[in-house]
Structures are given as structure tokens and as C-alpha cells.
Structure 1
Amino acid sequence: MKDQYKRNIDYLRISLTDRCNLHCRYCQPEVACHVPHEQILRYEELLRICRAAVRLGISKFKITGGEPLVRKGCAAFIRELRRLEGVAQVTLTTNGTLLPQLLPELAASGLDSMNISLDTTDVQQYRELTGGDIKTVFAGLAAAREAGIPFKLNCVPLAGLGFDGVRQLLKLAEEYQAPLRFIELMPLACNGSLQGISGSALRQLWEQHGLQVTRDEQVYGNGPASYYRLSGCSVPIGFIEPIHNRFCAACNRVRLTSVGFLKTCLYSAEGLDLAVLLRSGADDARLEQAMQQTIWQKPWGHKFDVTPAQFNMSQIGG
């Protein structure tokens, strides 16, 4: 369907949970409490929303969290979603730590691809940034390759990563023949003490070290990444830059939080509480109409460049 600015909205990100087994400093550095279980949408409620979304023209779905794999039944939900008529693609964003145990179920679910978050290959840096053990991620990457599910690597580059740190990420991406994407740090109330590295700064860093950077016009997915080719590197390098290369004019997505709030923009508080509709007896026609009206009113763009957003990323599904 189209929004008021005639953008084609065909992509829904679904947060299954606000919980995560890591505490990445830029996402949820300190979490004192989580959403009570009874407030989280049940899988049958999520599928009902997805059916309405498909009728509105949404055909691509991204499963997120928190960490979606910490929620029991995630793979079974993906299987049911992938089977819905009109669903063209279901993908998953994960930190990778739980993949070794769950890859067989995910492979059987019909999952199309994954994004695996990894911001450094250094053991100590990873522990300081996330609180976790990087060996679990490496095991997850190996399991994903064994299962044959395509994946991309996502990195939020922070000050201190340095050329050597980036080079190690590039080596890992080449080893797995996985596109590597650098996602610009988004200003949140919880991460104001951190300093991100822009895409242009990274490209300049490579050129300073004698590497040639050229634009790659090929499309590698549904997102807003701009891709480049780096001399000596066989995989495409993507940059998602919401601040320095704002892509709001081409945004094709809306988001559903784990408690059922339909967000029309990552930054904005505007949207619709679908949980109230679902649990107050609204029929499918009313649900679809409400979603359509809300998506139509999607704002033109974010305001990250004005003031930081007042939420943790894990609360809204990234």
C-alpha cells in the first residue's frame, strides 16, 4: 500500500520480544525490567496481524527482538508466517549466539536469510561491548553456513574500532562470503556517551590505507543500504546511514513492537496499539482498516538530527 507521500510500504519488521541474552552498549546497556509476558503478543495474534498486513500489500517480513531466538517457538512461528499466501520473504535479525542449537528448526521453517550482528572480532572488545562470549557467535556463523541459510553481517562501528578492527571484519566476511554492512550509530538516550563512525569516515580510512572504493549499484536486499566495492575484497560492503545519508524519502517499512504497537517510523512515537484492538474483539475488517489508516499517516522522516530518541533499541525491534 501507499502512504500519504506515495511511498510503497511493503515491509514489516516484527519484534517478538524485548528480551536479549546480550547487553550491547548502544542498544540496551542497562535493563532493570522487561515487559511482562502477558503483555507480549501471542503468536496467533501476530499471525492475525500478518494476514491483515498481507491483504494491505505487505509481502516481506523481518523478525527481530531484542533477540528473537530467546523466545520459545520462534522457528515454528516463522514456519507458519512463511506459509501464509502472499508472503514473499521472511528474514531474521539475530546476534547469532543461539544459532547452533536452533539452526535445524530455522532451516526447516523456510527462513529466507539472516542478518547476524557482530561489531568486532576481538574477544575482549566483544565482551566489553556486549557482555557475551564471541565464540558463541563464531559457532553460529559456522552453523549458518552448514545449514545453507544466506546471511549478512551487521556492524555498528564505534570509535576505537580502527583500521585493523575493520580489516578483521572484512576478512571474516570474505571467509563466509557474506555481505558486510556498517550501520551508523543512531542517537538514543541510552547511548549518548558513545561515538559512532560515519560511512564516509570509514571509506576515507580505507582510501588513506591505499584501498580503492567504488560504488556498487547492485541491490542486495530490501533495506536502505548503499553498497560499495573495496579493492582486494570479494564481498559487497554496505552502509546504512540514517543521519549522514538520510533515506526517509525511500522508506518502505513499518514496525510492530513485541507489545503490539504499530510504529510507522523508528524514531517517532506515532502509531497504533494493535493489542488493544485485538483484545477488545475487533474483527478482521476493523483491524485492517485501522492498520491502513495508520500506515497512510506515516511521517515524512525521523528527527534523530534534532534530538536523541527516548527509548532503547531493544524496545522497538531495531
Structure 2
Amino acid sequence: MSVQIPLRVVHGDELNEAVLQDQHGRRFSYLRLSVTDVCNFRCNYCLPDGYQCHDQQQPLSLAEIRTIALAFARMGTRKIRITGGEPSLRKDLTDIIRTLKATPGIDTVALTTNGYRLTHQIRDWAAAGLDQLNVSIDSLDPKQFRAITGHDKLQEILAGIELAKELGIKSIKVNAVLLKGWNANELPEFLAWLKNTQVTLRFIELMQTGDNAEFFDANHVSGEKVREQLLQNGWQPRLRQAHSGPAQEFSHPDYQGNIGLIMPYSKDFCSSCNRLRISSQGKLHLCLFGDEGYELRPLLSAADEDLICQRIRELLLGKKATHFLHDGQTGAMQHFSMLGG
């Protein structure tokens, strides 16, 4: 259950004194904003039985999204990533991108998608101001891709990435969840692809959620093993950029593409945390694997930025130092489409 923290009335000018910071000294300039929990893929590590609707409440409206962006921008947020579920299932996604990009103080608008509608909509997204694109591709083998996701869309998604590059979206990342029985032996194929493809490929360790314990035990692969292979083969660590996520990135002079590793089970993973999350229902989540989330929607409906900022600052005081995944604690996270990872 959410912890109720009483509101303390403050003046508007107090809210602009500093960026968001927790009691552990971490500063938060990056917001992951879910605009829907609906997804049309059936990835075996997330929604193997497909999306199941459990809540009839409507997702955040465009007006509520605008209010969130304005409030977070006031508190030093400079990057907003649109997540789902699958964001492209919202018919107003282009308007959402345009609204976020027009928010004073927001420098970067990013989107994470499964790529299902990439070739159809990337032109509109680029024209609306999209800066960064993340696409999920868990295998470069069409048969394996279909086995993991439930869709025969690999070639179309790859074509969409090429189109995004032609349209001038310079920061393109491809996400692949490491799965022991499915794609863990595909590193040579991924490396061959990166030889002449200018993207950042990010291998993500499978994380345990509330409903995948058995699958996790059977398929978890440590990213450290991949890291060791990269270092042994001449890949070099890259400096972490401002507002970047937790990935450790590597480059190689013989490859056009880069590699990133997201290893939530590694030591001190949470020490570099710089992001907060808003669910599609308007709840603030301090951690992907935290508790149920804190209700902000009544404040969003009132469009009271002062109270929204105040509430977020006070709730942030309760952010814990770590996610406790090592202890098998997954919080309220049942599957990743709830918050977009």
C-alpha cells in the first residue's frame, strides 16, 4: 500500500530552488512516462499469454500529460521517455511527442517501442520532434524473434530503424533481453550486425517480476559474462552521458555500432539512478520494483503545478537506496508492460 505523506504548504518560488534530489544524494533529471499499459506483443518474458485488461480506468489524457511535463520541467527534468505497454497503440502519440517537445525545459523526448508501427508512423514522430528512439529486438533470427514475441515482424522493424536514421533521428538504441534458452548464443550475429550498423545495442539482464519466477530461474543470464567477452575482444568502456540511463556502454574502432549492458543485479547498480516513473494511470513510482505507486491524478486534474511539485518532492524523501532484487523482492511489478521497464 502507498504510504500517505501529509502535504506541507510552500510558496511557488521554493519549488525552483534545486532539481529533484533524494536523501541518498541522487539527482533526478530523467522521467519515464507510461502512456498505456496495453501491449500487442506476447513476449515470453513479459506477457506470454498476451495483454489482460485489469483496470477500466482511462490512461492519462493529453492535458494531464502536459501538466506532468510542466511540473517535472520546473524541478529540473530535462529528458522524458515515453513508454508503455506499447505507446504506438495510442492514436494521439504524435500529439504527445509534440506536447512534450514544446514544454519549456525539456531538452530530449525519447520513445521506447516494440516497433510494430515504426514504418507507418516514424515520419510523424520525427516531424513532431522525437529526439531518441529505442526499439526492442530480442533476436536477429526471424524464427527466434517470432518465438519470443509472437509476431513475424523482424524485417519490417529493421526497415523502420533504417527509415528513422534517414529521417535524422541520431540516437537509436536496440534493446535485447538476455535469455538463456533463446538468444544467449546470438552474440556473434549481433556483433556482425553492429559491424556496419550505427546503433547502440543494449543487452538487458532478465529481471524477476511477480509473475515470471519460474521463467526467470530457467533463463537468467548474467551480463557480466557478456562484459568479460567484450573486454577480451577489444571493446572499451565509454563515458556516461548526462541524463543517460544505467547502461554501461562500450565501443570498438572496428564497429560502427556500440554495445550497452544493463545489469540490475550488478554491484552498486542503484547508485547511479537518475530516473522516476509515472504510470499510465498517473501514479508516481520511485522505483521500477517499488510498491504500488503514489496517486497524483487528483492533482493533475486540478492542474496545480505547485502542489504537484511539492507532493513529488516530499514523496521522493521515501526513495530507498536499492531495489532489493537480490533478495527476490519484486515489489508491485507483475510484468514490465505495467511501467515500460
TM-score (norm 2): 0.85
- Give per-residue Cα distances to partners, 1:93-117, cap 9 Å, x unaligned: 1111211110111111111111111
Q: In the alignment, what sits opposite 1:286?
A: 307
Q: In the alignment, what sits opposite 1:118?
A: 137
Q: Is the 8 A contact 1:226 1:239 kept in 2?
A: yes
Q: Is the 8 A contact 1:163 1:205 kept in 2?
A: no
Q: In the alignment, what sits opposite 1:182?
A: 203
1:34 Cα deviation (Å)? Answer: 2.0
Q: Within 2, Cα distance between the matches of 1:32 and 1:92?
A: 20
Q: What's the secondary structure of 1:115's corresponding residue?
A: strand
RMSD (Å), alpha carbons? 2.2
Q: In the alignment, what sits opposite 2:222?
A: 198
Q: In the alignment, what sits opposite 1:147?
A: 167
Paired residue type of 2:304: D
Q: Is the 8 A contact 1:98 1:136 kept in 2?
A: no
> Of the candidates 104, 122, 127, which is equivalent to residue 103 of structure 1?
122
Q: Within 1, Cα distance between the matches of 2:303 and 2:117?
A: 37
Runs of 4+ with >6 A deviation? none
Cα 1:138–1:220 change in 2 (3 A) is farther
Cα 1:270–1:71 change in 2 (3 A) is same
1:239 Cα deviation (Å)? Answer: 0.7
Q: Within 2, Cα distance between the matches of 1:163 and 1:71?
A: 33
Q: In the alignment, what sits opposite 1:299?
A: 320
Q: Within 2, Cα distance between the matches of 1:103 and 1:219?
A: 25
Cα 1:163–1:48 change in 2 (3 A) is closer
Q: Within 1, Cα distance between the matches of 2:134 and 2:183?
A: 23
Paired residue type of 2:81: K
1:75 equivalenced with 2:97 (yes/no): no
Q: Within 2, Cα distance between the matches of 1:242 and 1:47?
A: 31
Q: Within 1, Cα distance between the matches of 2:227 and 2:274?
A: 27
Q: In the alignment, what sits opposite 2:264?
A: 242
- Give per-residue Cα distances to partners, 1:243-264, cap 9 Å, x unaligned: 0244211111100010111001
Q: Is the 8 A contact 2:178 2:184 kept in 1?
A: no
Percent of residue pairs identical? 35
Cα 1:101–1:37 change in 2 (3 A) is farther
Q: What are the ranges of 5 or more consecutive residues in structure 1 without an aligned counterpart?
A: none
Q: Within 1, Cα distance between the matches of 2:85 and 2:288?
A: 15
Q: Is the 8 A contact 1:185 1:196 kept in 2?
A: yes
- Give per-residue Cα distances to partners, 1:23-63, cap 9 Å, x unaligned: 11112222462255643111111111111111111121011
For these two proteins, the number of residue pairs brought into alignment is 315
Q: In the alignment, what sits opposite 1:132?
A: 151
Q: Within 2, Cα distance between the matches of 1:313 and 1:166?
A: 24
Cα 1:30–1:231 change in 2 (3 A) is same
1:317 equivalenced with 2:340 (yes/no): yes
1:162 Cα deviation (Å)? Answer: 5.9
Q: What's the secondary structure of 1:39's corresponding residue?
A: coil
Q: In the alignment, what sits opposite 2:275?
A: 253
Q: What's the secondary structure of 1:181's corresponding residue?
A: strand
Q: Is the 8 A contact 1:97 1:140 kept in 2?
A: no
Q: In the alignment, what sits opposite 1:269?
A: 291
> Of the candidates 18, 21, 26, which is equivalent to residue 45 of structure 2?
26
Q: Is the 8 A contact 1:11 1:253 kept in 2?
A: yes
> Of the candidates 23, 28, 31, which is equivalent to residue 12 of structure 1?
31
Q: Within 2, Cα distance between the matches of 1:140 and 1:58?
A: 29
